[in-house]
Amino acid sequence: MPDVALLALIVVAMLAGYLLGRRDLRKKNESRSSGQPLSKEYFVGLNYLLNEQTDEAIETFIKALDLNNDTVDTYLALGSLFARRGEVEKSIRVHQDLLARPSLTASQSLRVQLELAKDFMQAGLLDRAEAMLSEMVRNHHEYRSEALQQLLKIYEQEREWSKAVAIGEELRKSGGDQYAVDLAHFYCEGAQICIDRNDRVSARKAIRQAFTRDRNCVRASLLLARMEFDDARYRDCIKALEKVALQKSRYVPLTLDLLEQAYNRLGNVRGFTAYLGRCLNERPGAAVILAMTRVLASDRGDEQALKFLTDQLRKHPSLKGLNALMNLQLRNPAVGSLESIRLLKEMTDKMLELKPVYQCSSCGFSGKEMHWMCPGCHSWGAIAPVQGIEGE
């Protein structure tokens, strides 16, 4: 709906609220024969609206209409309209004007404060929003849950993970099981910070806490595996990485490079091959097929690798697989086919260069880097390797 049309509806609602308020006033004061007439400013504002001078119309209506129980919601709707249009300064002005009215009830005041805090967040005034929301959490039960949710968004944006954990745990205790996955990621963020400063004891503790909130947290398994590998605990590294296939198999591609290194450090190439074979039987994908192709090329030669890859591509076609097939053929070209293979490879190289590697299952955001929190919709754990012929 166009903003002008929506604004017109809001103004109609303002007028209805105004008239309802006057009607209630007449009922309470029977000595008055009629309510006060609409002010001159109201008709001036209506004229602005008809001429599509929306800013002037809004300013005039705010000044013209009294605040009562029937118009508070309309004022809030007006503020929301500004916020959606990106005119956050106007939304702030509407909400601050509301808060200045002494006729607001305590409940209405809290609701307006919550909306004003959202305005501050949208404007990037996070300190002001945090102060307002924190005061609401400390001193008021009503709207407390909503205030906590907004605080959580602030701490995510500011990457204050210890505060995010505290808020997330409080929300979870009050029945917010949906925060379990987010909490696991907060603990993982803390674990990564501990790893970066070489505090491995605290890092392991944070990883354990992540698993208590989400036992299928792939990120925690990957962090643990890297720590085990760096500590030369290769069997434990393998255990953590192979667990990912049971947690969320779509993330197996993220495990294969380190898993191969861990098996190689143990001198157990066959163990890695056996694991790849299990993955091929249960959930074949481009990354697993290409890993097996590399192992076969190293162990049995390009001819066996080429045969395996050709068979797999017939069953599970992918651009990555086709590109790998051409690499093998370029190393062992058939007579007369070298130039055509080279041309095909150049084409697939360009196609793969333009294609995203990861995609968010929630909003569709895609890119070439793995993000545990989607930059588009801010969902945790929604991004994974692209599936299908153009991905895995």
Q: Which of 67, 86, 112 is nearest to 3 (CA)?
A: 86
**Confidence (pLDDT) at 184:** 97
Fold category of 47-158 in CATH: 1.25.40
182-196 pLDDT, tens per residue? 999 999 999 999 999
Residue of 19, 70, 73, 72 lying closest to 42 (CA atoms): 19
374 annotated ligand binder: yes
* Domain ranges across the chain: 47-158, 301-354, 355-373+380-391
Question: Residue 113 pLDDT > 90, yes or no?
Answer: yes
Distance CA(116)–CA(128), nearest Å, equals: 10
The predicted model gives 339-348 an average pLDDT of 68
279 annotated binding-site participant: no
List Cα–Cα distances, 283 to 48, 221, 241, 370, in angstroms.
64, 19, 16, 21
Name 172's Cβ contacts closer than 8 Å, sequence gap at least 6. Answer: 179, 180, 183, 213
Q: Was 188 annotated as part of a binding site?
A: no
Answer whether 357's CB lies under 8 Å from 390's CB: no
Q: Which of 25-29, 48-52, 316-320 has the lowest mean pLDDT?
A: 25-29
Choice between 337 and 126, residue whose per-residue pLDDT is larger: 126
Cα–Cα distance list, 79 to 10, 44, 45, 75 (Å)? 11, 21, 17, 6
> Is 194 part of any known ligand binding site?
no
